[in-house]
Structure formats: structure tokens, C-alpha cells
């Protein structure tokens, strides 16, 4: 089998910094975790919040702390620091090779930093070919709202899956492109889309990663 993860990410129109932060960390007991946080508001302040949350979670996961405990710790840290005035969503997608499962840890409806009792929603799914998971920040669901034609993310995903056997990169790229299109090429919010797919591919034993960064005139992404 092979697990493929793809991310596509764009800034809110005319902002040089995304309030979304996404990072990947190796799990000390095997596998990896992708951590995605969306800090309140946009621009530099939001970036600082989402970076703080992601750094906290990644540091704990790297020490072997379980995903749910890492999410609670990040929430408590944010609440202590900002006294409930600043919040952040958090999604962790973990490929946990010690249990043979994909673990999804989510704080979206109840974001981090709101109170001392924030708990994540945790879903654990066996790793098997055909499994697809899609994670995104709310910029995707807000796309098109300005024009009164909001994006139906579920319907878009179903349409992509019906037509073909899309790679995760194609899935993430198509969702993002649809959202940017609905926002008339001026995204109303930062948008991050992550797609994970388990395939039955058996080839070499090589782990691969690619990163592509467009560079704008002002150098800052």
C-alpha cells in the first residue's frame, strides 16, 4: 500500500501572509502527522496564532504525545495566553503505523482557546486501499458567499470522485481552484485543502515529498 497526501494552499486576496499554518511531523512510533490550524482573522496576527498552535502540537507529537492530548494542550496554552479572546481551529491527520490506522483529530465547531474544557472530535479508521480523507479550512466553505453563491464542498468532492480516480493532488487542486473561481480570483479568506488517499500501489520502498512555492514580487508568501 501507499499513503499519498497532497496540500494546496492560497492566501486571502491581497494579503502577504496566510493565517493558516500547515506542517508535517514524523511520529516517533512510526508514521507521520499533518497539522493544520486556522488562526482567528487574517494576516500577521492570525499567522502568529496558527503558528503557535501548530508548533505546540508538533512538538508534543514528536515526543510521542497522543493526538487528542496534544490538541487539548494547544487549546489550554492558547486559552492561558489569550484568556479566551483569540481562537484557532485545528485539524490533525495522522498516519499511525503503530496501530495501522488513520487518526483524525478535529477542533472546528469548537475551536481551540475558547475555554478550559475544549475537546477534539477523534475518528480512527483502518488504513486500507480506497480510503480518502479531505480536510480544509473554512475559506473553502466561505468561497462564493460574497456573491451569494456559496460552494457546496461535498457536492464538488462527489463530482470529482465520480468522474475519475483522482490523485490527492488533483482532488486538492480542483477543490481550491473551484473556490478561487467562486471568489472571482480574489479569495475572501485564506484557503488550505489537504487530501489523503490510501492506494494499493506496491512499488519501491521510497518515501517521497515535493514542495512548490510560487514567489511573488514582494518575496513574502
Site residues for its own copies per CB under 8 A: 1-11, 21-26, 28, 30-32, 34, 51, 55, 59, 62, 95, 97-98, 100, 127, 168-169, 172-173, 176-177, 180, 201-216, 219-221
Q: Tell me how far CA of residue 148 lies from CA of 144, 145, 209, in angstroms.
A: 6, 5, 38
- Helix, strand, or coil here: 26? strand
Minimum separation from the CB atom of position 221 to its own copies (A): 6
Distance CA 221, CA 207 (A): 27
Given the complex with its own copies, which of 4 and 108 has the nearer CB atom?
A: 4
Given the complex with its own copies, which of 30 and 84 has the nearer CB atom?
A: 30
Given the complex with its own copies, which of 164 and 205 has the nearer CB atom?
A: 205
- Helix, strand, or coil here: 101? strand
Minimum separation from the CB atom of position 87 to its own copies (A): 21
Cα Rg of the chain (Å, integer):
17
Distance CA 70, CA 65 (A): 6
Distance CA 7, CA 15 (A): 20
Given the complex with its own copies, which of 51 and 114 has the nearer CB atom?
A: 51
Minimum separation from the CB atom of position 146 to its own copies (A): 19
Minimum separation from the CB atom of position 56 to its own copies (A): 11
Amino acid at each position: 500500500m501507499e499513503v499519498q497526501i497532497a496540500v494546496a494552499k492560497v492566501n486571502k486576496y491581497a494579503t502577504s501572509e496566510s493565517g493558516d499554518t500547515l506542517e508535517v511531523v514524523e511520529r516517533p512510533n512510526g508514521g507521520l502527522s499533518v497539522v493544520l490550524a486556522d488562526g482567528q482573522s487574517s494576516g500577521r496576527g492570525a499567522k502568529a496564532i496558527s503558528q503557535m498552535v501548530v508548533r505546540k502540537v508538533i512538538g508534543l507529537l514528536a515526543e510521542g504525545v497522543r493526538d487528542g492530548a496534544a490538541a487539548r494542550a494547544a487549546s489550554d496554552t492558547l486559552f492561558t495566553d489569550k484568556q479566551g479572546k483569540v481562537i484557532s481551529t485545528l485539524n490533525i491527520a495522522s498516519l499511525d503505523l503503530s496501530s495501522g490506522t488513520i487518526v483524525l483529530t478535529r477542533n472546528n465547531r469548537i475551536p481551540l482557546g475558547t475555554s478550559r474544557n475544549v475537546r477534539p472530535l477523534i475518528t480512527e479508521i483502518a488504513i486500507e486501499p480506497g480510503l480518502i480523507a479531505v480536510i480544509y479550512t473554512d475559506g473553502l466553505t466561505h468561497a462564493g458567499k460574497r456573491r451569494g453563491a456559496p460552494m457546496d464542498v461535498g457536492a464538488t468532492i462527489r463530482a470529482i470522485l465520480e468522474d475519475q480516480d483522482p490523485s490527492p493532488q488533483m482532488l486538492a487542486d480542483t477543490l481550491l481552484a473551484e473556490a478561487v473561481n467562486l471568489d472571482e480570483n480574489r479569495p475572501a479568506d485564506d484557503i488550505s485543502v489537504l487530501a489523503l488517499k490510501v492506494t494499493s500501489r506496491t512499488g519501491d520502498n521510497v518515501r517521497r515529498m515535493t514542495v512548490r512555492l510560487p514567489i511573488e514580487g514582494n518575496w513574502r508568501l
